[in-house]
Amino acid sequence: MSLLERLFGGHFGDREFARLWTTGGGHPHLDACATCRARFESFDQWVLGIGDVLRADADAALPTERVASQQAQIARRLETLEHPARVIAFPKAARAVINGHSHVRRWVTVAAAAGLIAGVGLGQVLDIHRTVERTSRVSAPVTHISAATAARATTVKPVALAADDDFLSDAGAFSRPRVSSALLPLEDMTPHAGDPVEGRR
């Protein structure tokens, strides 16, 4: 049923009531039709009733005591606005990580790693060199002693005993303390200096 039909013959529906209620204006039909006027009154009360229920609902959700505590809380928060919270600085180590100098740190790390590798490498090389040197120092008296024993063997001893004597003298030479080549002249000058040590053994 159209609005015109309702105006001339029928009655207003909810749509017209809602429109009239929203615009807040009256209508000639309401003045003429007592039924529609009464229904509009009822509609009006219904809408107002909803508002009242919703207001009561909100007031019940936030009762007076809660509103009072809220007011106190607002006052406290406004007071703290004047005294903002103190910001505690991060420790220096943490700041160094985040302050944008990471490329410097990276270079330092790389240099330290390179230094470590170089040090280890150099240490290895020096160790090898020292070992070689030591080996050469030890091998020199052995050759000297073995030459002397060879000369002795050829002069006096029979063939069967010569091998045993060589073995024993070689063993004795090896059991003697190693003497550096630089000290050999001194050793020659004092041939019996090692006797007490030998006797103790």
Nearer to another protein, 45 or 102 (CB): 45
By CB under 8 A, residue 45 contacts another protein: yes
By CB under 8 A, residue 24 contacts another protein: yes
By CB under 8 A, residue 190 contacts another protein: no
Burial class (CB within 10 angstroms; exposed 0-12, middle 13-18, buried 19+) of 167: exposed
Q: Restricting to residues 149-178, name those near another protein by CB under 8 A.
A: none
Q: Work out which of 11, 14, 161, 167 binds another protein, going by CB under 8 A.
A: 14
By CB under 8 A, residue 46 contacts another protein: yes
Nearer to another protein, 49 or 123 (CB): 49
By CB under 8 A, residue 52 contacts another protein: yes
By CB under 8 A, residue 180 contacts another protein: no
Residue 90 gets the label, from left (phi > 0), alpha (psi -120 to 50) or beta, of beta
What Å distances lie between residue 168 and 127, 164, 194, CA to CA?
A: 34, 6, 18
By CB under 8 A, residue 75 contacts another protein: yes
How far is residue 85's CA from residue 52's CA, in Å, rounded to a whole number?
Answer: 43
By CB under 8 A, residue 38 contacts another protein: no
CB of 63 to another protein, least distance (A): 9
Nearer to another protein, 67 or 116 (CB): 67
**DSSP 8-class letter at 157:** -
How far is residue 13's CA from residue 16's CA, in Å, rounded to a whole number?
Answer: 6
By CB under 8 A, residue 26 contacts another protein: no
Q: Identify which of 188, 153, 184, 155 has the alpha carbon closest to the alpha carbon of residue 168.
A: 153
Question: What angle do helix axes 159-175 and 102-155 make, rounded to 10 degrees?
Answer: 150
CB of 72 to another protein, least distance (A): 10
Are 43 and 17 in contact by the 8 Å Cβ rule? The answer is yes
How far is residue 75's CA from residue 68's CA, in Å, rounded to a whole number?
Answer: 11
Q: Name the one range near another protein by CB under 8 A: 52-60, 113-121, 122-130, 163-171.
A: 52-60
What Å distances lie between residue 51 and 45, 82, 138, 196, CA to CA?
A: 10, 40, 112, 124
By CB under 8 A, residue 108 contacts another protein: no
Q: Which residues bind another protein (CB under 8 A)?
A: 14-15, 18-19, 21-24, 45-62, 66-67, 70-71, 73-75, 77-79, 81-82
